[in-house]
Amino acid sequence: MSATWATFLFEAANFLLLAILLAWAFFRPVRAAIERRQSEVLEDRRAAGHAREEAERLEEAARTARASLEDSLARLRESQRRDAERERQDLLQEAAERVQRERRSFEEELLALRRTEARAGARDTARAARDILVRILTEIRGPDLEQALVRRTCEQLERLGSDGALAPVIVESATPMDSLALSTIAEAAHVSSAELKHRVTPELVGGLRVLTARGLVDVSVAGIADRASQALAARLEGKDEVDA
């Protein structure tokens, strides 16, 4: 073998030995480091995938929570709107009822005032009519009127006496009466002269007023005028109340 081939073979053997030593001493740790790094990268990728899935889950949960919150807010706003509308309606109803009550109260007060004024007017009219009637009866008073009033008194006494005894009997007149008129009244009342008393009462103006055990017979000018005044006042007050 020549020296050149020997040298080549020696160099090749040295190279192979160096390669084996490098592979054992250098490439093997590097390969292990690379494999560990690849494993770490894969683990990081899996962790990142898990983190991405968790993030997506959290994002979905956030979207759901937001939608639920918006729905709750919408329901709350609607509830508040309905409550506000109901409160507004209640206030309007209360105001309308208050106005109605005040209107009725005003109408009642106005009606009461009109009735009071009507009664006052009726009383004034009745008093004026009474004064006129008293004046008329006073002016026309004479024997014929007095006799007519005595006859009217006797008629009422006879009707009153049909229910029982009238004694004692008290006869009142505006002026003194003669014995004949008193006897006529005693006969109509079915009492004796001793059971009949007479007294002068000027405020009667004219006519007679007889007090008996069974009631009063009043055909005096003052009594007739008072009854006419009361009837007129009642008629006027009743008419005004109907008109109101």
Tens of pLDDT along 134-154? Answer: 565 555 555 666 777 788 888
User: So what's the pLDDT on residue 244?
Assistant: 38
pLDDT at 243 over 50: no
User: So what's the pLDDT on residue 132?
Assistant: 56
Tens of pLDDT along 6-23? Answer: 776 777 777 777 767 666
CA distance 65 to 72: 10
Tens of pLDDT along 221-241? Answer: 788 777 777 777 677 666 544
| DSSP reduced 3-state for 198 | strand
Instruction: Please report the DSSP string for 17-76 in residue order.
Output: HHHHHHIIIIIHHHHHHHHHHHHHHHHHHHHHHHHHHHHHHHHHHHHHHHHHHHHHHHHH
- According to DSSP, residue 203 is labeled G
